[in-house]
Every structure is written in C-alpha cells, then in structure tokens.
Chains A and B, each alone.
Chain A
Amino acid sequence: MNCKKVKKHLAGYLEKNLTKNVEKELENHFESCPTCSHLREEFSQLWGALENRERIQSSPYFWTRLKQRITEYEERRNPVLGWLGGLVGRVRPAVAVAVLLICVFLGYSLGNFSQAVNGQTTSSVDERTLALQQFFDSHYLNPLNDLPTGSVEATYLEMISGE
C-alpha cells in the first residue's frame, strides 16, 4: 500500500470500518513509514476533536431574557391590557397615598362632627334653663320654684312657660 492510499483510509482506520486485511496492510505501512505514522497521530487528534466536542451551558440570564421577550409580546398583542397593567403599576404609589389621605381626612371629620353634636346639645340645654329663669324673674314667680317636682302645680307651670 502506498502513502496516498493510506491517507485515504485514515478515517476508516480510526473508526474501525476497514476489513481485517486492509487494516493489517495499513499497520504494516505505518511501521515502515515514519511520515504516515506521524500523519496517523495528527489525524487521530483531529478526528478525536470532531468526535469529542464539548457541550456548552446556557447563560444564567437565558430565562430572564426570554421572559422579558414574551411579556413584551403579550403586551403588544393586548395593548389595552398592557397599558392598564402599566398604568396600575405606575399609579400604585399615588393611589396608596390618596387612600391614606382620604382616611386621615375622614377620621378628622368624624372627630369634629361628634364634638359639634356634643357642643350643640349642651348649648341648647343652657338656653332652655336661662329662658325659664328669665320667665320666672319677669313674672315674679320665684316662689313657685319651691313647688315639689312632679306635682300638678309644677307640671302646669312648665306647660304655661312654653318651654
């Protein structure tokens, strides 16, 4: 076997695809020809690199990138929902502050309201007592103050005072 034929059969030799006879011929040739023997070594390394390619790992951001892309895609498909979603996201802090302010205002208003009701009740009782006193003074009826509470006379007096 000559050097040209050996070169042609190198891959078959490395993959063990040759017949026993051809394989034997090649091995005999390698023993006698240092050039082809060296060639076999080189080709074996190249063929090895072809056989044993390393597998690569994806980057840690693979999923993050993909998720971002599908989110954008869904927003493009549903522009109204996307806009609303974006709007809710953007105005969320403002809404929270507004709700807080409304609660504070309502609390303050409720507090003032109960105070005003209490004040109004007190002042109307005071006015009534004062008017009764003035009525008694103007008609010289002070002695009637001593009438027993719940008696017919006291009840009549209350009725005519109009209060």
Chain B
Amino acid sequence: MNDEKLIQKIIEKDHQAFKLLVDQYQHLVLNTCYNLIGNRPDAEDVAQEVFFQVYKSAREFRGEAKLSTWLYRIAVNRSLNFIRDKKRFGWLKSLSSLLEGEQQKVADVPASNSDRPDIALEEKERSVIVQKAIDSLPEKQRAVFVLHKYEGLSYQEIAEISEHSLSSVESLIHRAKLNLQKKLRGYLK
C-alpha cells in the first residue's frame, strides 16, 4: 500500500491501516526522538505523541513530500518542544523529586555489548559524555546533526524536514561538528 492510500485509510479511521503505519515507522520516529532527547522512556512517550498527532491530523498530510519527511518533521518538533518544556519546568520536577526523596536518574544509555565489566563501564561513560555534548548543542544544530549523523539523511532531505535552506543546513551541521569537537575535547584528561 502506498503512502497516500495508507493516509486515506487512516483518515477513514481504519485502525489496521494505522497499525501498518506505526509498524513501518516506529523505529524511525522512536530513534529520532531518542537521539534528540537522550532518554528512552521520554523518547517513547514523545514517539507516542507523534503517532497520536498523525492519527488526529492525517488530513493535513498533503502528499507533496514523502510520508517519512512529514513524520521526521513532527518527531523533531515534538522532541524540541519536550526539551523546551523540560527546561522550563525542570525546577518543578527537581523540587518534587526532592520532596519525594526520589534518586537522581542516571542517564539512560543502551546496554554495552562487552562481556568485560570494566570495558562496559568505560563504554557507558563515553555514551554519557557524548549525550551530554549533544544535549549542549543549540536546538537547531542538534536537530540537523541528529538527522544527518544518526538517520543518515542528506542535506536536501534535512532542508525539507527543517524547512531551512540548503546552505543553512550545511552551516548548521558544520557548526554542530565544531561545537561537539570543542565539548568533547573538554572531556579529555
């Protein structure tokens, strides 16, 4: 079934067609959210929001771009909104955690593949450092860097998703790389 037929069926509230779309694109949406947010449970919640929005506003898909482009755009916008809200209301959450005596959550990184605990620990530390460096990037740089580096998208595709010009995307990626180098050099002993 092509993208337009799939969307048409979703507009008609066909749950089977919607499941088909979720099965096909959940990996893409979830990993985009995860690479931007850096936390698995939050990324999964935001991915749910993305698909819920797709279901509610399927009519807004005009078929001018690919379905994946539309999904990437929603995933990036939702993730950046989530990060902004988290920053804005972070103090409130910290306060409630403090009052409830909740322990500080350790950065959520995928388990290491190594059998040796020392190597696994080092890999985990490196993942945390990399995530912190990505988190410190300005949001536009972070979005284009993630789409380019982890989703393997071309500058042209990123320009369509982010609705920036091609030259802006090139510039943002270049600056993101320079910033990351700088941040990561700062972690070297």
- Spell out A's residues near B (CB within 8 Å): 7, 10-11, 39, 42-43, 45-47, 49-51, 53-59, 62-63, 65-67, 69-70, 73-74
**Contact residue among A7, A49, A50, A66 (Cβ-Cβ distance under 8 Å from B185):** A7
With both chains docked as a complex, state the minimum distance between the C-beta of B154 and any C-beta of chain A, in angstroms: 18
What B residues does A10 contact at CB under 8 A?
A: 181, 185
Residues of B in contact, count (CB < 8 Å): 40
Q: Does any Cβ of A come within 8 Å of B30's Cβ?
A: yes
**Contact residue among B15, B27, B122, B150 (Cβ-Cβ distance under 8 Å from A67):** B15
Contact B126 A49 (CB under 8 A): yes
**Contact residue among A45, A55, A70 (Cβ-Cβ distance under 8 Å from B55):** A70
Which residue on A lies nearest to B111, using beta carbons? A54
Contact A59 B18 (CB under 8 A): no
Contact A58 B181 (CB under 8 A): no
Contact with A along B171-184 (1 / 0, CB 8 A): 00000010011001
Known contacts A49-B123, A73-B56; is-contact A62 B130 (Cβ 8 Å)? no
With both chains docked as a complex, state the minimum distance between the C-beta of B114 and any C-beta of chain A, in angstroms: 12
Some 22 contacts from A to B, beta carbons below 8 A apart, are A7-B185, A11-B181, A46-B129, A46-B188, A49-B127, A49-B130, A53-B130, A53-B150, A55-B31, A56-B31, A56-B110, A57-B27, A58-B27, A58-B44, A59-B44, A63-B19, A67-B19, A69-B48, A69-B52, A70-B18, A73-B55, A73-B56
C-alpha spacing A50/B189, complex, angstroms: 18
Q: Does any Cβ of A come within 8 Å of B141's Cβ?
A: no
Contact B130 A46 (CB under 8 A): yes
Contact A62 B15 (CB under 8 A): no
Tell me the dominant secondary structure on chain B's binding face.
Answer: helix
Q: Does any Cβ of A come within 8 Å of B78's Cβ?
A: no
C-alpha spacing A55/B149, complex, angstroms: 12
With both chains docked as a complex, state the minimum distance between the C-beta of B25 and any C-beta of chain A, in angstroms: 11
What B residues does A11 contact at CB under 8 A?
A: 177, 180-181, 184
C-alpha spacing A65/B22, complex, angstroms: 12
With both chains docked as a complex, state the minimum distance between the C-beta of A9 and any C-beta of chain B, in angstroms: 10
Which residue on B lies nearest to A11, using beta carbons? B181
With both chains docked as a complex, state the minimum distance between the C-beta of A36 and any C-beta of chain B, in angstroms: 11
Using A49-B127, A58-B30 as known contacts, list a sample of 6 further A-B pairs with CB atoms less than 8 Å apart, ordered by residue number in A. A46-B188, A50-B180, A56-B31, A56-B110, A70-B55, A74-B13
CB contacts under 8 Å to A, within B9-33, are 13, 15, 18-19, 22-23, 26-27, 30-31
CB contacts under 8 Å to A, within B61-96, are none
Contact B110 A42 (CB under 8 A): no
Known contacts A42-B189, A49-B129; is-contact A58 B26 (Cβ 8 Å)? yes
Q: Does any Cβ of A come within 8 Å of B47's Cβ?
A: yes
C-alpha spacing A90/B126, complex, angstroms: 55
Known contacts A55-B27, A56-B31, A58-B30; is-contact A39 B18 (Cβ 8 Å)? no
Which residue on B lies nearest to A70, using beta carbons? B55
Task: Give 4 nearest A-B pairs by CB, closest first.
Answer: A11-B181, A49-B126, A54-B110, A50-B130
CB contacts under 8 Å to A, within B131-189, are 133-134, 149-150, 177, 180-181, 184-185, 187-189
What A residues does B185 contact at CB under 8 A?
A: 7, 10, 43
What A residues does B34 contact at CB under 8 A?
A: 56
